[in-house]
Amino acid sequence: TVDPTGKVTFTPNKDFVGTATGVTIVRKDTNGTVAKATYTPRVLSEDGTVIAKYVNKEGEAIADTTVVVENEETGTSYTSSAKTIPGYVLTETPANANGTVTNGLTTITYVYEKATQNATVTYVDVTTGTEKVLGDIDKASGKFDEVINYSTEDRIIALQKAGYELVNDGFTTEDGRVYDADDTKNNFKVTVKQRVEPVTPNDEKPVPGQPVNPEDPNSPVWPNTAENLELTKTVTRTIKYRYNDENGKEVTAD
C-alpha cells in the first residue's frame, strides 16, 4: 500500500520464502518532476540445528554429542534416538526427542544412570588337576565402575583350617576390583589344593585335633586318622650268603 505521502508498506506472506515480485512506484514532486523507484523484497528462510547429548544424572557427558540435523529449514521434522552405552541404562527420554526444527540451536538431552552389574567368586580345589568347586559360589552386585564390596579373606582362612593351601587368589588386587560393564568379566576364581604335611620318624607323632603348625593361627588340625600313622616299622628279613670259587662257580657247604 502507498499512503498520501508516498510511503510504501509491504505486508509479507508469513509462509513465503524467496524473491518477491518487484513493486515500482512513480511519484511527482512539487515541481512536477517525475520520480520512479522499484523495490524487490527478498525473504530468507530461518534455519536451525538440533543436537543430542548423553549425560549421567550429574550432567556429565558419557558419550559423544550427536548432530541430529544441521542448518535445516525451520519446520522440518526430525527424530533422534538414545544410544546404547555400556555400563549405563536410560532413565529419561526428553520431550523434544522428536519434533520440528526451530530457529537457532535445539539441544536434546538423554539422561542415564549406572547399570547394576553382578559378580561371582568361585573357590575350587585343583589337587588332582581337575577343578572341584568347594562350597557355594559367592555372589555380589553393585553399580558399574564401582568397587566390588567383597573379601576372600574369611573363606580362604576357613579353607586353610580345613587343610587346604592357597594356590591363587584371582579376585584380590591392591587397588580392589570394580564392576565391569560386561558381567562375564566379573567372574573370579580362587584356587586351592590339599595341603601335604611330611612326617618323618624323627618327628613327634601327630595328635588328632592339635594344630599342624601351632605357630600359625590359621593352621589346620591333625585329623583323627593321624593316630594310625606308623612312623617306624619292624621288619624281618632272611639273608642268604653265596660263595663262588676262583672260577666263579658257586660253592656249597656239605
Q: In this predicted model, what pLDDT tens digit does every residue of 214-244 receive, in sequence order? A: 666 667 665 656 555 666 667 778 877 777 7
Helices (H) and strands (E) in the chain, counts: 1, 17
The SS3 call for residue 154 is helix
**How many Cβ atoms are within 10 Å of 50's Cβ, its own excluded?**
23
Q: Which CATH class is domain 47-114?
A: alpha beta
Amino acid identity for residue 151 in this structure: S
In the block, which residue shows the cell 559360589? 137
Closest CA to 107 of 173, 168, 35, 53: 53
What pLDDT, on a 0 to 100 scale, did the predictor assign at position 203? 61
Q: pLDDT category, 188, cuts 50, 70, 90? A: very high
Q: What pLDDT is recorded for position 23?
A: 73
Task: For residue 11, give the DSSP letter.
Answer: -
Sort strands 116-125 and 187-194 into parallel, antiparallel or unpaired.
parallel
- Give me the residue spans of the domains in the chain: 1-44, 47-114, 116-194
pLDDT at 242: 75
The answer to whether 167 and 126 are in contact (CB under 8 A) is yes
Q: Determine contact, residues 95/110, Cβ cutoff 8 Å.
A: no
Q: Is the pLDDT of residue 92 over 60?
A: yes
pLDDT in tens, 96-147: 999 999 999 999 999 999 999 999 999 999 999 999 999 999 999 999 999 9
- Least confident piece of the model among 34-38, 129-133, 157-161, 163-167: 34-38
- For residues 218 and 212, the answer to whether their CB atoms sit within 8 Å is no
Q: Is the pLDDT of residue 63 over 80?
A: yes
pLDDT of 243: 75
pLDDT band at 27 (very low <50, low <70, confident <90, very high): confident
β-strands 250-251, 104-114 pairing: unpaired
**Beta carbons of 181 and 86 less than 8 angstroms apart:** yes
User: Looking at residue 94, what is its pLDDT?
Assistant: 94
Nearest to 120 by CA among 192, 180, 193: 180
Give me the phi and psi of 118, to 5 degrees please.
Answer: -125, 140
156 membership: H or E segment, kind and range: helix 153-161
pLDDT mean over 184-206: 80
Mean pLDDT, rounded, for 149-166: 92
At residue 13 the predicted structure's pLDDT band, cuts being 50, 70 and 90, is low
Q: What's the pTM?
A: 0.64
In CATH, what class is 116-194?
A: alpha beta
